[in-house]
Structure 1
């Protein structure tokens, strides 16, 4: 008797597990994108745009980084996407944004 119930609900349990793993994967990718945006904005605020691009690429591989430095602020936007359930469902795209103040140059009056 128990074998029949297990056989009936095992596919459902596997589906729930797959959805849970995909959700954790999406949250992880979003956190990586936020970290990349924060690090890139801070580096761009210090005036090191090359390091900002390098840090952004290292923190979120495969993501696209857009840097803007204007008006005393450095803005970094990281766009990324995740394909949950191995690509069975459409990709989830998201953008994370971070802003840092541009630091004054050392030795400037």
Structure 2
């Protein structure tokens, strides 16, 4: 009996142990599957968020590049206006000096007064994107006419 008892107890214990471990494992698998199914509802959400956010990100990038282009063009216009104003104040051709520095497609206007020269440089900025309105930046520089120099001829 002790052998049979042990065997029966061991068998029962082992059987119960296996059955309970197997039952727990099966229950755990069900829980894992349920958790996986619940997480599976989020499957592909990154793709959907990327599809919604990518156009906005691209628009932001294009706007940023346009702003950088406008700032660069504005700085170039300011340099051209300064050069033209200084040249015109010394009696030289302000327009010729401005054209050397101004960005492509810039419009340079030189106004000569009795005491000062005012130069305005306007240039278009290419917007990054099709069918968008054109942006124009302008810069103005003023210089005093140097004494003893004949009035500049724009």
Same fold (TM over 0.5): yes
- CA distance, structure 1, for counterparts of residue 138 and residue 61 of structure 2: 26
1:72 aligned partner? 115
Matches within 5 A, 1:84-99: 84-99=127-142
Whole-angstrom distance in 1 between the partners of 2:126 and 2:116: 33
Deviates more, 1:90-99 or 1:15-24: 90-99
RMSD: 1.8
Larger radius of gyration between Structure 1 and Structure 2 = 2
Structure 1: tracts of 5 or more residues without a match: none
Q: 1:21–1:91: structure 2 CA closer, same or farther, 3 Å change rule?
A: same
Show the counterpart of 1:23: 67
Aligned to 1:43: 87
Aligned residues: 104
Asked if the contact 1:83–1:89 (Cα under 8 Å) also holds between the matched residues in 2, the reply is: no
Whole-Å separation in 2 of the counterparts to 1:31 and 1:88: 25
Which of the pair has the greater relative contact order for Cα pairs under 8 Å at 6+ separation?
Answer: 1
Matched-pair contact (CA < 8 Å) for 2:70–2:137: no
What is the match of residue 54 of structure 1? 96
1: CA distance, partners of 2:99 / 2:130: 23
TM-score normalised over the length of structure 1 = 0.82
- TM-score scaled by structure 2? 0.60
Indicate which of 50, 65, 88 corresponds to 1:6. Answer: 50
Shift of 1:87: 4.5
